[in-house]
Structure 1
Amino acid sequence: MSFTHLHELIRIADEKQMSIADLMLEVEIEQSLHTEKEILERMNRQFSVMEEAARKGVETPVYSRTGLTGGDAHRVGEYLKKGCSFLAPQTLQAMSFALSVNEVNAGMGRIVATPTAGSAGILPGVFISLLDSGRFSRDELVRALFTAAALGLVIANSASISGAAGGCQAEIGSATAMTAGALVELGGGTPEQVGHAVGLALKNSLGLVCDPVGGLVEIPCIIRNGLHAVTAIAAADMALAGVKSVIPADEVIQAMYMIGNALPESLRETGLGGLAATPTGRALRERVFGKPQGME
């Protein structure tokens, strides 16, 4: 299976009466020549890395090597304890975990790219919050990572997951869609509903530019992970409620690809436009690197 079109993935899952996770696992067994047990054990180790990164910054403030960012996951975690949040506690916890993963990344810690380092907080943030909720077992969540992987492969093969190629929509948008789709399958949704979740989540990220201040994966990357963890949960609930993506998910993915190609170079991870080009963005870059843009 090539994993290039979501409608084909959905069709095969329906025909075989399999979940997308089981279908992905079946393909992985065929291609890697490893046993199901070996593959699940490897994914379980990846999950452990995700969990460590998600908890680290909430328990103790983690700061980046540059000093530009850090401590926000801990701040949100402490705020959560007050019991006065507008978001439901579990949703806010997912946000704090997502922030933590990207703070750990900025601090040169260990993370799992899901699908990239710049968007690595969304999937782990949501999944670790579900683990803590007790609603799903660790084994169920590990298996659901294969659903997310299959969806990520479709996007990567038919469009892009690179901020340099397609803007932040290709990184944050893809991670949000992967997470939303995996949640729908966890929640008992059909493969078709998984597809709608992907479409709903991704269309909400269309046009999102990649404008890292100083070219560093810190501002606004970390905050975007926290906010889009909430978006992924919302998109999953919409799909499970029966809300459909009027534009099919495959067409949304292609729209993302075309939008990414149309973005100017300054808005594709070069650190030249968007927030990076604001007076504050330029000043922060100079603070880190000691010289203005273009003076290297």
Structure 2
Amino acid sequence: MPKRLIDTEIARFREDGLLFPLRALPEEKIAEHRAALEAIEAGRAGRIPPTLNAKIHLLLPWAWSLVHAPAIVDAVEDLLGPDVLCWGTSFIIKNAGADRYVTWHQDATHWRLTGVRAVTAWLAFTPSTPENGGVRMVPGTNHTVLEHRDNGDARNMLGRREEVVAEVDEDRAVDVTLAPGEMSLHDPLIVHGSNANMSNERRIGFAIRYIAGDIGQRAGLRNSATLVRGRDHGLFDLETAPEADFHPAALRRHARALRQGIDVIFKGDRVDSPDGTDVSHRG
């Protein structure tokens, strides 16, 4: 029996590649996490450096707790099965009036996994709306792997500035509008993107990338992951909870995990899948 989702929600996710809004945390609790995040930013010149933001749950105990939050993981288990890994996390922040945006893309493009049984939970720390650059998704595009290219624009927030080559029917796109503490779940192959934040308020989201426990990295690549629930299948180096915010031992482990992740995303281009189809991803 499903733990959180009902059968019709599971069926809709399989068909559309998207499910929202789902309540993950009470608004007062997400407000506490936002305050903690912004206190960290205030102590680091107003932002978290990209090298710390990748897999940031390995550096902040409260972010580690979010990755394991039952209200989130119960829904993910309904979609992926009992063995669940966290492949990555990051805060996705658009400041008021900033011109940064996200091109139409599929998440799995540079993940270089052996399969695409994965789910991203996008947890809203602030309201996420069309006005402040909320995520837009095209339902039903999760059934086909699409070719991507580098769009060459430094304002593109994606790590490799990737965008789908095919023309996207924007009339079919839906705005993923969320209140603080709500989340969306999306398939790693759904085409999605977001516009610049034209509002007077920040837009803050926390993206958690979950994969099924029996999914691994492509041959020749090795990465680390966090065992969130169920059984370890031995396909990743398992990650450890941080002792405290930016604890020295956690920073050392994080640096090692980050190097592995960079090798997968940037050096893995030379690794071919058995059928010649690239079903990797970042997003």
Q: TM-score, normalised by structure 1?
A: 0.29
Q: Which has the higher strand share?
A: 2
Q: Which has the higher helix share?
A: 1
Question: Relative contact order, CA 8 A, sep 6+: which one is greater?
Answer: 2
